Amino acid sequence: MIEQLNQLKNAWMASHVTDAEFPTPLSEKGLALYQAKQLQLSSQLISSIPDCATSSLSFYPVDCHPLTIRYSLVLASQWANEADKDALIEYLTQIMFEQDAPAQLYVGFYKGKPAACGMIYHHQSDKGSCALIADVHALPLANQQTLQQEMENYLLNKAKEDHDILVLTK
């Protein structure tokens, strides 16, 4: 089930380029970089969620292109090479949301600026309602680990509201 969730999420993420009539070479490179990174990650079932103490982040669902850009900038900051970052940003800003999209992206703002991001990917399986928490990242600030943990906890708690099975990929 975990593998299936990851495959479905990765197929949805790829579809924004593979289904495009005229994908740009830079967005195709970004997709390849994203897919290569996914191979390095592992996933686990989550049985308990840490309590959310106070958070220094303000959380927003990505529901417009300006927030997609902010999400893209934060997630692309994982790559050290500037050309790779540019390719990731080109790719990630292609994400389009339909009303029934299986994923919801989130951006966390710290002191009024985008600083963290993450995704909840939804899937209904024969085992119940599943949520995959993925692409959780924070900008390389002094408090990066704290911001990343706050985003992860927020998404897990948010997903717990509507899903029976929670999976975390990192």
Tens-binned pLDDT, residue by residue, of the chain (170 aa): 899 999 999 999 999 999 999 999 999 999 999 999 999 999 999 988 877 667 899 999 999 999 999 999 999 999 999 999 999 999 999 998 788 899 999 999 999 999 999 999 999 988 889 999 999 999 999 999 999 999 999 999 999 999 999 999 99
Domain that holds residue 95: 2-169
Domain harbouring 79, CATH code: 3.40.630.30
Instruction: State how many domains the chain has.
Output: 1
Q: Which distant-in-sequence residues (6+ apart) come within 8 Å of 121 by Cβ?
A: 5, 8, 9, 12, 102, 103, 131, 132, 134
Contact (Cβ atoms closer than 8 angstroms) between residue 86 and residue 26: yes
- 3-state DSSP assignment of residue 68: helix
